[in-house]
Structure 1
Amino acid sequence: MHQAIGVIEIKGLASAITVADTMAKVANIQLVDTEKAKGFGWITVKVEGDVAAVNAALEAGEQTAIASDSFIAKKVIPRPGEEIFTVFWPQEDEAPEKPVEAELIVEPEEVAEPEVAAEPTCNLCHDPQCPRVKGDPRQDCIHFEEEK
């Protein structure tokens, strides 16, 4: 039987992660689930543990959320009825099992280095055989007479 459950609502995923981290570090609780609300970017973080630990965790979570201006609400339920878990908590044994996917190991292929063509030195004809380099007179290009 569960000792106590606690829920805290936070604005924003980053703030919810920070609050959950703080709660887990402060008290001996178990983070059960996070649930995204249908609007406003609210996230509900659900925890369980003994009553004192859940109270301490939610207080620390509330202070962390208030510091970042993201606190909405919190609630501790000591000695909850089992019906609460069927409605609000995920059931591990009822969840469909995901099929196990085989790992595909792909070995890298040897890639041949592409042959580097000689770079053209002439910016007029782009012929690698042309002795002209950029900045030389146009008349030095071997294709100067053809371009006229």
Structure 2
Amino acid sequence: MNQAIGMIETKGLLALIEATDTMVKSSEVHCLGKKQVGGGLNTVLITGDVAAVETAIQAAIVSVQRLGEGLLTASHVIPRPAIDAKAFVDAGNIAEEPEENEPEVVVVEAIEIKEPTETIEPDPKEKLLHELQQMKVTELRKLAKEQPNISIPHKNIHRTNKEKLVKALTDILIINE
């Protein structure tokens, strides 16, 4: 069986993972590892027989180009190499733990937050109380004088403070609703 090595160079980790996944799934190839070139460039190396490596590289090219323009920077296949490709790949294998200087990738699941479908109406008494508290004392006194069954004697309404007016109006208006 004639062995070959294949290389894909991408911009960014996402494109590198997409390329590696596609290559391993599309042909009978094995991943030798990856190399961070710098400036966001990453290279992944695969090995297998010549036809399988060529097929895997072509599939990865199409897959990375689907992700977006400019993510694929280079690709190459070397049939029957006279060198040991593994020597070019540092200890940072895809399946290994990240090195001390290499940031660890953490996957966080997205949580969908749904808006409530029904609105909760405030308690009518609380709503009325709030509206009355927003009114001026003169407005409350005028409203109190218009109420025939208010608990405050009509002759004392002009001297009653805001707190007592709000309580008396709340009591009578809630009963009338």
Q: TM-score scaled to structure 1, two decimals?
A: 0.55
Quote the offset at 1:87 in angstroms: 4.5
Identical-residue share of aligned pairs (%): 38
Give 4+ residue runs of structure 1 displaced > 6 Å after superposition. Answer: none
Q: Relative to 1, partners in 2 of residues 1:30 and 1:72: Cα closer, same or farther, differing over 3 Å?
A: same
**Equivalent residues in 2 for 1:1-148, closer than 5 Å:** 3-39=3-39, 41-68=40-67, 69=69, 70-82=71-83, 84-85=84-85, 87-89=87-89
Equivalent residue letter for 2:58: E
CA contact (8 A) 1:2 1:80 kept: no
| Gaps in structure 2 of 5+ consecutive residues | 92-177
Q: Relative to 1, partners in 2 of residues 1:43 and 1:89: Cα closer, same or farther, differing over 3 Å?
A: closer
Quote the offset at 1:90 in angstroms: 5.2
Q: Relative to 1, partners in 2 of residues 1:56 and 1:11: Cα closer, same or farther, differing over 3 Å?
A: same
Quote the offset at 1:67 in angstroms: 1.1
Equivalent residue letter for 1:76: V
Quote the offset at 1:88 in angstroms: 1.8
3-state SS of 1:61 partner: helix
3-state SS of 1:14 partner: helix
Greater helix share, structure number: 2
Q: Structure 1 CA distance, aligned partners of 2:10 and 2:53?
A: 17
| Gaps in structure 1 of 5+ consecutive residues | 92-148
Q: Which has the larger radius of gyration?
A: 2
Q: How many residues align?
A: 91
3-state SS of 1:5 partner: strand
Q: Quote the RMSD (CA, aligned, Å).
A: 2.4
Quote the offset at 1:2 in angstroms: 6.8
Q: Relative to 1, partners in 2 of residues 1:85 and 1:22: Cα closer, same or farther, differing over 3 Å?
A: closer
CA contact (8 A) 2:3 2:50 kept: yes
